[in-house]
Chain A
C-alpha cells in the first residue's frame, strides 16, 4: 500500500494530511530522516522556507532529504516549490534543486497582495476551473526544458511538473477541490 509523507517541520502540513485522509491514502507526518525510508512520496507544504531550512540540520537533514528527492516523488506547494526549485540567492533558504524552475520568493508583495483566482488544470478535461489561493506567493520566473507547465495565471506558470516532481505556487491544500492531490497520487502510483 502507498504511503505519502508530509514534511512536518513547520507550516500547513495537517491540511495536506486531512486531504490525504479524505482520499483514503495512508499518510505520515515526517520529522525524522529515517521516516523517509518508509514513504513513496513526500509533500512539502506551505510555511516559511527560512524556518524549514534552519531545522534541516539534525533530526532530519538536508542531505537525506535531497537523496530522497533525487529518486522519489515530491509535491511542493508555495514554500514547498521554493524548496524543490533553484535560483534563490539566499543562504538562509536551502533548495533541493530537483525541479528545474527558478523561483522568486514573495513575488507579489506582502499579505494584502494575497489573492484568489481561477485557473485551468491542463490534465483535467472537465474544464472546471480550480480556485487557486495565492498567499505571499512565489513566482516561477524561468522553467527548464524538462518542465511541463500544467496551469498558468496571466500566462505565467503556477503549476509545473517533471518526471518525479509536482509543484504549485499556490495552496491546493486550502480548498475542498482535491484534483491536484489526486494527480500527485496517480503520479506516484504509476511509477511504483
Chain B
C-alpha cells in the first residue's frame, strides 16, 4: 500500500515537470501566475525576500488565504510547513493542498528530525544541497526534491552550486560497485536501498526541480540545462517591476530552455528584475539553505 500511494504522489510531481511553480501571496497574484502559464502556485503569506526583511518567526500561512487561493485557480496549490512541524502539515493536508513544501524558508520546528512523510496522503517536496540530503528526504517519503539555492536573494549562484553537487553525487554513485556503496551510504547518512537505486538508474527516484535565486528567463534556462526538471520562482516574479511579463517570460524560458532564439526574445524589453542581494554577503547564520539535516 505504501508503494501504491507513493506512486500517486510521485505521479503529480511528474505532471509538474517542464513548468514553473510560482510563489504567490494573494488571489490576485495567483491569477496572474495561472494566466502566465504556471504549472502550480505556492501559497504563502510572505515571499522569502520579505521574510528576510521582516525577521521574526516564519510559520505556516493562514489557512484562510490558502483556501482563497485554492478557490481562485484550477492549477495545483502548494503550501509550506516548517521543517519537522508535522502538526502544520496535518492542517495543510486537511485544507486539501496538492503538495506540501517542508521548507527551510520557514523557521525550523525541529533541529534534528524532518517529518516522516509516509504518514501523509498528500505528497511532500523538500530542499537539498547535495545528494546525501536528497536521499535522506526521499528515504523519509518525499515525492519531489528541489535544490535549495538561497531563497529571497535573486542570486543564482547557490542554486547552481546545489544542482551541480546533486548531479555530481549521482555520477559518483554510478561509478561505485556494491561493496563501495555501503560505505558511501554511511558517509552520506542515507538509506542503502535508495543509494542502490540511484546508482543503477543514474537519476533520483523522484523528480528534481530547482529553487532559490531564479530571477530571469536566463536563470531558468541555466537551471534546466544543468538538469532541473522544473523551476520554482519565489521572490523573482513579484519583486520585479513587471511581474506579469516576467512570469510569462520565465514560463516560456522553461519550455524553450535550450533555444537561444526564444530565450533572446523573451529576455528582451523586460523591465527591472528584483534588486536582490549577493548570497555571499549574507552572514552564515542568515543562510536559509543551512536549515535541514
Contact = CB atoms under 8 A, between A and B. Distances in A.
A9 B18 contact: yes
A175 to B, nearest CB: 9
Interface in B7-36: 7-9, 11-12, 14-19, 34-36
A112 B39 contact: no
Interface residues of B, number: 40
A61 interface: no
Interface stretch (A65-73, A103-111, A147-155): A103-111
A192 to B, nearest CB: 29
Contacts, number: 114
B37 A133 contact: no
A23 interface: no
Contact of B18 (A10, A54, A90, A110): A10
B37 A50 contact: yes
Contacts of B196: none
A173 B279 CA distance: 40
Given A12-B17, A174-B14, A116 B256 contact: no
**Contact size class for A?**
35 or more
Contact of A136 (B17, B36, B98, B121): B98
A11 B19 contact: yes
Contacts of A114: 8, 11-12
Interface string B124-138: 000000000000000
B123 interface: yes
A135 interface: yes
Interface in A85-101: 90, 92
B262 interface: yes
Interface string A163-174: 000000001001
A64 interface: no
B19 A47 contact: yes
Is the contact region of chain A dominated by helix, strand, or loop, or is it mixed? Answer: loop
A115 interface: yes
Contacts of A11: 15-19, 39
Those 9 A-B pairs whose CB atoms lie nearest each other, nearest first: A54-B37, A111-B98, A110-B96, A12-B14, A10-B19, A51-B37, A10-B18, A135-B11, A112-B121
Interface of B: 4, 7-9, 11-12, 14-19, 34-40, 70, 74-77, 93, 96-99, 121-123, 248, 251-252, 254-256, 259, 262
Interface of A: 8-15, 31, 46-48, 50-51, 54-55, 59, 78-79, 90, 92, 105-106, 109-112, 114-116, 133, 135-136, 171, 174
17 contacts: A10-B18, A10-B37, A11-B15, A11-B17, A11-B39, A12-B14, A31-B255, A50-B34, A50-B75, A78-B15, A92-B74, A110-B97, A111-B98, A111-B99, A111-B122, A114-B8, A136-B76
Given A47-B17, A50-B75, A51-B38, 10 more contacts: A10-B19, A11-B39, A12-B15, A31-B256, A48-B39, A50-B35, A92-B74, A111-B96, A112-B122, A174-B14
